[in-house]
Structure formats: structure tokens, C-alpha cells
Structure 1
Amino acid sequence: MIDSRKLKKRDIYLKKLIAFQDTEPVKVITGIRRCGKSSLLKLMAEHLKENGILPEQIIEMNFESFDFKNMSSDDVYNYVKERIIPDKRMYLFFDELQRISSWEEAVNAFRVDFNCDIYVTGSNAYLLSSEYSTYLSGRCVEIKMLPLSFREFVYFYDFEIKETPSALGGTRRYAIDKNGERYDLRELFDGYMRFGGMPGIADVGLDLEKAMLFLDGIYSTVVIRDILEREKRKGQKQITDAVLLRKIILFLADNIGNSVSITSIGNTLVNEGLLENGSREGKPSVHTVQSYINTLLESYFFYEIKRFDIKGKEYLRTLGKYYIVDIGIRNYLLGMRNRDTGHAIENVVYFELLRRGYDVAIGKIDNAEVDFIATNTENKIYIQVTESMQSEDVRKRELAPLQKIKDNYEKIILSLDTGSDTSFEGIKSINLIDWLLT
């Protein structure tokens, strides 16, 4: 069992849960395995106890535990019913509930039969698929959890950000550890880009061998439990070929930030000799590749981003991109070597925008591309991401698409080396690490 006294806060998510406390909707926390969902439930339970809720009013069930193995939805209902305290509001916490067949019937019955507040986690988007919407339509709120942001990474590893006056005016940031040792922020960022943001790595420390073993466990669990062992579902192709699945995973991991189509993935796997076109099984069909990718999206392993025509104001059906949920998992899959830093930091920016509550698309304007259009109810930002702005050729390349956009929304370029200029005709050049820490 997780010791809640040692848990690090994940305030961005805990505040969302607290905001929905004692409201009718079922609170559903989704995200890849081991990103911190179980810990978040523990943090919420602690919050309740600290605010006057008695421990016996809280019922916690983790369906990864042997204690609840092989339960039916009826068993779950009866387990909870036996522990209900009459005339008290109950708080029900169900971890990895998708492992229980017909779980939605039990949850709906709890809503109807008892005075309760319900919290659920799941590691597969199928948890909220259309099949279940008839039970929970309008009665659930989804809180999408991700691995650690860079700011959270700094906090989880017990670093503290300090500021000191800069020789050229203004201030300069640095980090200190719990022993008072001083570190450049770029060192910490390089650690983040190497180890990624899966919270459990903080328990083993920044030890590469231990971290890779930890990430191997996450990878195996996602692939085996959430994909290869998933039950047959109506209208869904069963995933049975572990070799093909791994090849598709490696292809997507190696091509984060590149525009790809399902057809091109199948063709590339054949052309590079990763699949044998003349084999007994033959070349995988577009439908097969798509179904395998869908399972990777369902398990929150990869995220798909669509293209948006800025002038035509419409989403395009072709050539989206995929980003991997954690850069550490990518390093585990492909090995630790310096590669396409530009796409890797692009991957980090994409997920940071999701954390900040933006809807994100790729921008197309004429024949040019804007890395991200980030939109929320109040704002829109156009963003370019590049490793360095020192080269004049790079500056021209990154500025050109933004200069074509004639509206008045904010336009920024994020880089690890901004050069001396902070603005180009109203387009801001911002240090990526500073942006991640704001």
C-alpha cells in the first residue's frame, strides 16, 4: 500500500478533484499506468480526512490488488454496501476499475442507492468509450493525468529554484538541492530529457540502470495488460501480434513530431525490412495498422495531434503527428543517444500545453507549418519550437510561418538558446526552460 505520508503533492490535479468534491458527477482520473493516479486518490483521501471526514466514511478498492482479484460487479457492489454507514456521506475510491466487467452498472447503482461521492481511475480510454456513455452521460467529469511536468520534476527530486541578480541586469535562476549544492537549470532539464517524468523514478533516484528497469516494467505492463490481454470488444480488432505491435511502437517513438499517415507507417515498416511483404501473413492492411495505433492511443501511450488550416479555419484529415507520453519511455525504447533534440523538446512542449488546459493542433498556413496552435476558452497562442535561435537561417525559418498569420493573438518561439533578441516585430523569443517553470 502507498504510504500517503511520503506522497509528493500533484497540486494541478488535486485542486481539480477538490473543486469537484461533493458534486454529482463521478470523478474519472485517466492516464497511462504509473503516472500517479493511485497516489492522487490517496492524496484526495488525505484531504478529506484533514477536513473532517472520518476514515470509515472512505472506502478504497484497488483492483490491481490481490484482495480484489476476480471480483464481479455484483461483488464490488456488495463489498461497498456492507460498509455503508447509514446517514453518513460516503466517499468511494476505485483504482483501475476497468478490470471489473460491467463496472459501470455498479457505479451507477452506487449513485442511485447511496449518499456518496465517487472517484475512479483507469489506464485505458475505453473506460469512457461510447458503450459506457449511456450509463454515465453527463454524470462524469474526466481529469486527464500526465507524467511529471518539468516544474514537478524539479520538486519531486527535492530541488528548489532560486534567483540571483544577473551581471547584465535582471535576474538569473538556478537550483539548489537539499544539501545546498547549486546547479544550473540546464543540468536539471537535461536530466528531465533523459529520465522523463514518470513519478516512480524519483523513488529509485537518477540512476540510469534502475530507471531503465522501472520504465521496462511500465512498458511491459501497458503492452501486456492494456493491449495484448484486453478482452475482445464489440467492433474492435483483437491485438494478437506482439512483434508487429512493438515495431509500430518503435516507429512512432522514432518519428515523434513527424507528419505521418497510417499508409506511410505500413509502407515504411515494409521498406525498412521491419515487416516482410512476402511473408505468410502478408503486408499489414491499413485497417490493421490503424487498429494497433488505436490501442496505443487508448492506453495513453501515444497522443495524436491533428492539423488545422489557419486560413480555411478547418481541421484537415491528413498527415497528423504523434507524440509519446513520456520522453523517458522513448529513451528506454530507442536507447540513450543524442537524436533530434528539436522533436524531443517539441514533445515536451506539447504535453505542457495539455497540462495547462489547452486544446492543441498543428497549424497550416499556405505551404508553411506552425508547430502548435494552443487554444482555450480565453486565449489562443501560436508557438514555434526550435533548439536554438542563434543561426540566422533558423530564425528566418521559424519566424516565416508566424509572420504570415495576420491576427492579433500571441505568437512565440520557444528555444533552449534564444540568442540576444527577445522579440521580432512582436513575435516573442522565450527560453524554453523559463517558460516551463512559469
Structure 2
Amino acid sequence: MTNYINRKEYIDKLLSYKDKDLIKVVSGLRRSGKSTLLELYREHLLKQGIGKRQMQFYNFELPENYLGKTWSDIYFEIKKKFQTDKTNYVFLDEVQNIPLFEKLVDGLFATENTDVYVTGSNAFLLSSELATLLSGRYIEISILPFSFKEYLTARNFDTSNKYLNYEALFFDYINETSLPKGVELRESGFDKIYEYLEAIYTTIIEKDITQRHQINDKRAFANIVKFVASNIGNALSPSNISKTLKQDGQNIHHATVEKYLEYLVESFVFYKVNRFDLKGKKQLATQEKYYLVDAGLLNILAGKERITDKGHILENIVYLELLRRGNKVWTGTARNTEVDFVCKTSIGEIEYYQVAWQMTAENTVEREFGALEKINDNYPKYLLTTDSFTQNRSGVRHLNVFNWLLGTSDKQE
């Protein structure tokens, strides 16, 4: 296990729910490290003195674990191996591949002295009958690919070394991939990373989306994906996507666009961020923004026309980091201002974040500081940029974004 990055935040979360009367659901993009996380977690359990026989792990991506078996066959197979008078830990990887999997999970959950952990690469797992069946009885732990800090650790860099060229390393991070296996492949060259990303994306589209939802017009679907990928961080609506594509000679109804966007969010390819009315303090229902789970996927989705500017990509990375740190995130809007992110922290506090690449021009300085200064309350406000020299203004904290991502700025999580 030594070559695995110890994904401490996720491990700590799992340990905090150990033996609690809740099903632990680990969700996230395919190949984002869910199986590895459970493997690391099982290592922790062994260190705590839990016997190997008390743990059972089933990978349902392997056909031999489910072909020709009903959910009840698997259920009794698992129960047969249970250790009596001890807690049994059951790990079901990609459980949505089992027909009627919710009955399997519910049956195990109802069994005394059983701690159940499941993973799934599609929100179908929780939008299905399982959520209804287990209402209030599960906790979802949503896993993301490597953070910038984890990426550097995987490449054996010492993130406390302030003399590293973080900007150059950041470009590697966003141009290659943050997916764990992809980082391993970098020794073999960019072509291998590209092939790997292409294979994952094809699997997601084929298995999780077009087959499941029976999409016949694959060209229309691909065009919508490309459009959203090229508009990271821009406010979008199904009707304006539909209108823009119509100008290109593609007739796709806005209701179809809306459905396709839902499928992409369900598969964890994109994350949808709602707008928040700063004055009325309420969530708005239109003009959401979409961020991509891994900036490296832009190579596949937007191809050679990868035109997303680096400011929006930086915004994308900051958004994912805010999620990792346990925040609920919105984009903020008021009559006279917009702010990139409004966050509710895990302890219920409000924070505001504005993100820009560099403060080179005076009008950029005024625009970025001004967006936060116009918010008339006393909650913390942060401006994150790549500038080495930062200067606070009117109560707004200006931080170097690389230090913030690495947790080495004086603004800790």
C-alpha cells in the first residue's frame, strides 16, 4: 500500500462513521480512486485489530462476481462467511451492476453486527430505489480525483518547499490529468495519458449514459458536451445552449439539452453550481455554471480547440477544492455585482471567494476587489490569484492561490 497516496480527508471521514448505523456510500467518477480508498481503509481496520475474516470485499466490475447470480445468491454467499459475535465489514464495489442491488444492500444493512460500504460511479445509485429504501440511513462520501497537493505528493514533490515552480507544476496538473492512474502514466508520455482519459470517457458515455438512457442521437449529445466543456465557468441555460447550437445548424430542443446535462452531472463528469441571490439570500433556479471533474478531460472534450481560458480553469480547480473541504458552493449574484463562489462551510459559516489569474491591469484589480467589496456583510472574503505578492484591501484577504490550494497560506481549511 506504500505507493498509494493516503487520502486522509476521505479516510478520516470513513473512520468517523465506522460501526455507526449508516450505510457508507462512496460515490464519484469512474477511476477517481474509490476502490483504492476502500483498500486503504481496510488497511486501517487491520491496524485497529480487526481480523481479515471479518472483512469481505466484492468487486462487481468483475463478471465472475455476479454473472448467473441473483442478488439473493450473493446475499447468502456473503452471510455464509460471517464471523459470529463479531462485527462484519462488507465492501460492495460498483454495486449498481447487480440487478435489484438495493435489496442486497438493505438485507445486509438489516443484519446485526454488519457495517456496509458501497461504491458507485453513477448518481443512479442514490437516485434509484436505494435512496427511498434507505432514506435517512446512509451517508454519501463523494470522492474527487487528486487535489493539486495530492498530485504533487504523487509526483514525490515536497509541498512545503516554497521554492518550487508551482505555476509550471500547476500547468502539468491541468494539462495532463488529476486521475490517480493517469498520474502514474505520466512517465510513459502524454499520449498514454490521453488514451487513458479517452478510454474512461468512452466507458462513461457508453455504459453510464447512452446505454442506460438509450440516447440515439450521439452526435447531438457530443456537441452539447463539447459546448459545456468550452464554457466552463460561464452561466448557461438549456435554452441558450439550444439557441446557440441552432445557429450552428443543429436542432436540439432545450428539454433534450436539460436531460443530457442531468446525465452528465449524474455521471460526475460535470458539477452543476446554482446561483445564489446575495440580497434575497436565496438560491436561484436559472443560469447555472458547470465545472469539470478533471481539467485534463478538456483535451478529450474540447479537443484541439481547447479554448477555455486559464482564469476559468483556475476557477474550476478552486471550485473542486472548496468541495473537497466540505463546503456547499453557489455562485453569487446581486443587481450590481457577481462573485465567483459563495460557500457554506461544514460548520455553517459563510465565506466568499473571487478567483482571477493575475492582477496585472488596474481595471482587473478594481473588478476583482470590487466584486467582493460590494457585498455588504462581515463574512470573510477572499481573492485568490497566482500573484506572488498579495495585498489585502478593505477587509478582503488577497491570497496566493497555490499556497491556498496546498494549505500553506495562513488561511487554513
Report the TM-score when normalising by structure 2: 0.94
Q: Does 1:116 pair with 2:85?
A: no
Equivalent AA in structure 1 for residue 321 of structure 2: E
Shift of 1:266: 1.3
Q: Does 1:289 pair with 2:257?
A: yes
Q: Does 1:395 pair with 2:371?
A: no
> Match for residue 203 of structure 2?
221
Tell me the secondary structure at the aligned position of residue 315 of structure 1: strand
> Match for residue 235 of structure 2?
259
Q: Does 1:379 pair with 2:376?
A: no
Equivalent AA in structure 2 for residue 255 of structure 1: N
Q: Does 1:244 pair with 2:220?
A: yes
Count of aligned positions: 403
Shift of 1:43: 0.8
Instruction: Give the Cα separation in 1 of the matches to 2:361 and 2:106.
Output: 59
> Match for residue 53 of structure 1?
50
Instruction: Give the Cα separation in 1 of the matches to 2:391 and 2:260.
Output: 44
Instruction: Give the Cα separation in 2 of the matches to 1:358 and 1:220.
Output: 31
Moved more, 136-145 or 326-335: 326-335
Cα 1:199–1:263, aligned 2, differ >3 Å: closer, same or farther? Answer: same
Equivalent AA in structure 1 for residue 285 of structure 2: R
Q: Does 1:210 pair with 2:186?
A: no
Shift of 1:196: 2.7
Instruction: Give the Cα separation in 1 of the matches to 2:132 and 2:238.
Output: 31
Q: Does 1:139 pair with 2:137?
A: yes
Equivalent AA in structure 2 for residue 404 of structure 1: K
Shift of 1:203: 1.9
Does the CA contact (< 8 Å) of 2:102 and 2:129 recur in 1? no
Shift of 1:60: 0.5
Equivalent AA in structure 2 for residue 208 of structure 1: F
Shift of 1:205: 2.1
Instruction: Give the Cα separation in 2 of the matches to 1:339 and 1:113.
Output: 51
> Match for residue 435 of structure 1?
404
Equivalent AA in structure 2 for residue 211 of structure 1: I
> Match for residue 86 of structure 1?
84
Shift of 1:437: 0.6
Equivalent AA in structure 2 for residue 220 of structure 1: T
Q: Does 1:188 pair with 2:158?
A: no
Instruction: Give the Cα separation in 2 of the matches to 1:396 and 1:5.
Output: 48
Cα 1:130–1:335, aligned 2, differ >3 Å: closer, same or farther? Answer: closer
Shift of 1:371: 0.7
Q: Does 1:8 pair with 2:22?
A: no
* Gap regions ≥5 residues in structure 2: 408-413
Shift of 1:256: 0.6
Equivalent AA in structure 1 for residue 292 of structure 2: I
Q: Does 1:200 pair with 2:181?
A: yes
Equivalent AA in structure 2 for residue 263 of structure 1: S
Instruction: Give the Cα separation in 2 of the matches to 1:57 and 1:251.
Output: 49
Instruction: Give the Cα separation in 2 of the matches to 1:375 and 1:312.
Output: 16
Does the CA contact (< 8 Å) of 1:365 and 1:404 recur in 2? no
Shift of 1:339: 4.1
Instruction: Give the Cα separation in 1 of the matches to 2:308 and 2:261.
Output: 24
Determine what percentage of the aligned residue pairs are the same residue: 40
> Match for residue 314 of structure 1?
282
> Match for residue 347 of structure 1?
316
Instruction: Give the Cα separation in 2 of the matches to 1:218 and 1:28.
Output: 22
> Match for residue 292 of structure 2?
324
> Match for residue 409 of structure 1?
379
Cα 1:196–1:113, aligned 2, differ >3 Å: closer, same or farther? Answer: same
Cα RMSD for the two superposed structures: 1.6
> Given the alignment, which residue of 171, 174, 178 partners 2:163?
174
Shift of 1:72: 2.3
Does the CA contact (< 8 Å) of 1:239 and 1:292 recur in 2? no
> Match for residue 167 of structure 1?
none
Shift of 1:130: 5.6
Instruction: Give the Cα separation in 2 of the matches to 1:410 and 1:75.
Output: 55
Deviations 1:108-166 (A, max 9, x none): 11122342111100011111116322321111110010011101111111111244xxx
Shift of 1:222: 0.8
Deviations 1:72-121 (A, max 9, x none): 21122122022112222211000000111111111111122342111100
Instruction: Give the Cα separation in 2 of the matches to 1:342 and 1:113.
Output: 51
Tell me the secondary structure at the aligned position of residue 386 of structure 2: strand
Tell me the secondary structure at the aligned position of residue 160 of structure 1: coil
> Match for residue 166 of structure 1?
none
Deviations 1:334-391 (A, max 9, x none): 2365641111101001110000111111111213210111112342211111111121
Tell me the secondary structure at the aligned position of residue 53 of structure 1: coil
Instruction: Give the Cα separation in 2 of the matches to 1:225 and 1:130.
Output: 17
Deviations 1:25-63 (A, max 9, x none): 010000010000000111111111121111111111000
Instruction: Give the Cα separation in 1 of the matches to 2:128 and 2:160.
Output: 48
Equivalent AA in structure 2 for residue 410 of structure 1: P
Equivalent AA in structure 2 for residue 321 of structure 1: K
Instruction: Give the Cα separation in 1 of the matches to 2:216 and 2:129.
Output: 23
> Match for residue 107 of structure 1?
105
> Given the alignment, which residue of 33, 37, 40 partners 2:34?
37
Q: Does 1:270 pair with 2:240?
A: no
Instruction: Give the Cα separation in 2 of the matches to 1:415 and 1:31.
Output: 28
Tell me the secondary structure at the aligned position of residue 200 of structure 1: helix
